[in-house]
Amino acid sequence: MLKRMVVAIVIALGAPAGAVVAMPPGQDTALPRLVKQGTATQLVVDGAPFLILGGELGNSSGEADYLRPFWPTLQALKLNTLLAPVYWDLTEPEEGRFDFSQVDGLIRDARAHQVRLVLLWFASWKNSMSCYAPAWVKTDTRRFPRARDSSGRSLEILSPFAEQNRQADARAFAALMRHLRDFDGDRHTVIMVQVENEIGMIPEARDRSPAADELFAKPVPSALIQYLSRLDTQLAPELRALWAAQGRKSAGTWEQVFGPGPATDEIFTAWHFADYVQAVASAGKAEHPLPMFVNAALIRPGYLPGQYPSGGPLPHLIDVWRAAAPSIDFLAPDIYFPNLAEWCRRYTRSGNPLFVPEALRSVDASVNALYAVGQHDAIGFSPFGIESASGPAAGRLAESYTLLAGLAPIVLAHQGRGTMAGLLPEGADEQRQPQHVLLGGYVLRVTYERQAGPSLAEGAVAPSGAASPATRWPAGGLVIATGRDEFLFAGTGVTVTFASSAPDDTNVGILSAEEGAYENGQWSHLRWLSGDQTHQGRHLRLEPGRFSVQRIRLYRYR
């Protein structure tokens, strides 16, 4: 089994363009905004950093009357934020006539339940397609041209190359944001907005409409070339390699600058999608400058651009998106694959703040949230289809969110300081080969136990046979170095031994281990742990079967 090193310090490779919104002079400074703290970017709401304990609604659950019976479920999950779609076709049923009753209903009910909203603007594109375009757009393909495949067939995808398309979307989005300013500008129920949803061209790597072909034969915009030259060593390695392979040209067509092939088709597609999104997002921000982001469908192993949505806000295209869409504050991954830690690393490698707007609604979502927040200073986490959550996945998420809500003031104070790490098994179900986490002058050797069920009492024997993936107990958590020789651990199914990170023969022992709970950042003592619970002073253990919090003090001896 591979021995994996987890280094707790996230190194931001330079300030990304558009990662932090500077408030324009004269704007309401109390609007939700993104602010840097150390290497982290935090979402500040009503003047204080805010951790999104979220869930995203299913696509067709965004009408207030339909959603009403699901609010008890959402409350039981301990969400503090709901990610909810706003539909272009319902918002602008006739050109220029706006109906905001859908979004107003959501806002009213969110306020009544003391939950914030992240709105998702389902407009030109929803998972590549244009199913949320209003009928007056869908039926007028002369005015609102479609993308075409290489056989010339028209697709139900608005072409990103049509000025009329972008203007229509931008006008509607500006109207929505203007309405939010008037309806919610002083309440901040809505704290961020996602622009479009899982943009990307399918089933080919780029649009083959005549307008697209014409632009593909033209030079790469100088703004992109200048961006490549300026960022150079900080570029995503995949993009930099393509540019270098063609001799780092400072002018030329797309194929001259990046070489022929699907990778170049995809860069071209990403530029034009991002350019279109910039027009939409900037029109909205001019009315009400909330933080805005785009989300991505990730790449299934072995798939090529066009098989997966080509040109979306993916980590290998982050520079293209940043160069073309400075009004977008960050790119966000929808993580349904099991290698969540790897996608989190890829999305944060150049200082992009991590926010996971969609995640698989499994029992593991509970520990994945702790990991994202602990390891990558995530702004928040949000399983998808949240109103349908039930059974063990719902139970574990509520437990994890309760724990995170109590810890939030401490977690937020530590973000960006190099004093936190996330704990998550990678690869195998169980991880007996320790991960090594370097933190606070110690090496933490971490192993994970996943199989024991929730009813397993201390000292009981585990039932034979593996639990099913849907019901097995998750393992993972986070650790914070709270002071010299002191750590706080939160999570489940985690065992940790300690060693000095200094290259000497000092031994490390446990001075005290205490179990308790946090509420609003305030600690309350439950019990002191020693004897069997620390393996007679050898380790810390967050037992499987429940979520818990421990504070531990270490000492060194010879």
> Which positions touch ligand DGJ (CB under 6 A)?
59, 127, 197-198, 334, 358, 384
Measured from the CB atom, is 237 or 469 closer to ligand DGJ? 469
d(CA 518, CA 359): 26
Residue 122: both structure tokens together:
């389902």
Smallest distance from ligand DGJ to CB 62, Å: 11
Smallest distance from ligand DGJ to CB 287, Å: 25
Smallest distance from ligand DGJ to CB 371, Å: 21
Sequence length of the chain is 558
Measured from the CB atom, is 127 or 246 closer to ligand DGJ? 127
Measured from the CB atom, is 198 or 387 closer to ligand DGJ? 198
CA dihedral 290→292→61→470, nearest 10 degrees, is -130
Q: Which residues contact 168 (CB under 8 A, 6 or more apart)?
A: 95, 137, 144
Q: Is 412 helix (H, G, I), strand (E, B) or coil?
A: helix
Measured from the CB atom, is 87 or 448 closer to ligand DGJ? 87
Smallest distance from ligand DGJ to CB 113, Å: 22
Q: How many CB atoms neighbour CB 261 within 10 A?
A: 13
Radius of gyration of the chain (CA): 24
Measured from the CB atom, is 31 or 332 closer to ligand DGJ? 332
CA dihedral sign of residues 457, 459, 465, 471: positive
Smallest distance from ligand DGJ to CB 338, Å: 15
d(CA 203, CA 428): 34
Measured from the CB atom, is 219 or 385 closer to ligand DGJ? 385
Measured from the CB atom, is 59 or 402 closer to ligand DGJ? 59
Smallest distance from ligand DGJ to CB 117, Å: 16
d(CA 530, CA 539): 10
d(CA 445, CA 58): 39
Peptide bond into 69 cis (omega under 30): no
Own/partner pairs, 341-348, CB within 8 angstroms, 24+ separation: 341/371, 341/375, 341/422, 341/424, 341/426, 342/426, 343/298, 344/371, 344/372, 344/375, 344/376, 344/378, 345/376, 346/315, 347/315, 348/10, 348/376
d(CA 436, CA 191): 37
Smallest distance from ligand DGJ to CB 27, Å: 31
Smallest distance from ligand DGJ to CB 363, Å: 17
Smallest distance from ligand DGJ to CB 56, Å: 8
Smallest distance from ligand DGJ to CB 127, Å: 5
Measured from the CB atom, is 198 or 266 closer to ligand DGJ? 198
Q: What's phi and psi for 126, nearest 5 deg?
A: -135, 110
Measured from the CB atom, is 119 or 540 closer to ligand DGJ? 119
The residue whose Cβ lies closest to ligand DGJ is: 198
Measured from the CB atom, is 194 or 534 closer to ligand DGJ? 194
Smallest distance from ligand DGJ to CB 24, Å: 31
| DSSP state at residue 68 | G
Measured from the CB atom, is 44 or 332 closer to ligand DGJ? 332
Q: Which residues contact 391 (CB under 8 A, 6 or more apart)?
A: 470, 471
Extract the runs of DSSP E, i.e. beta strands, from 159-200.
190-197
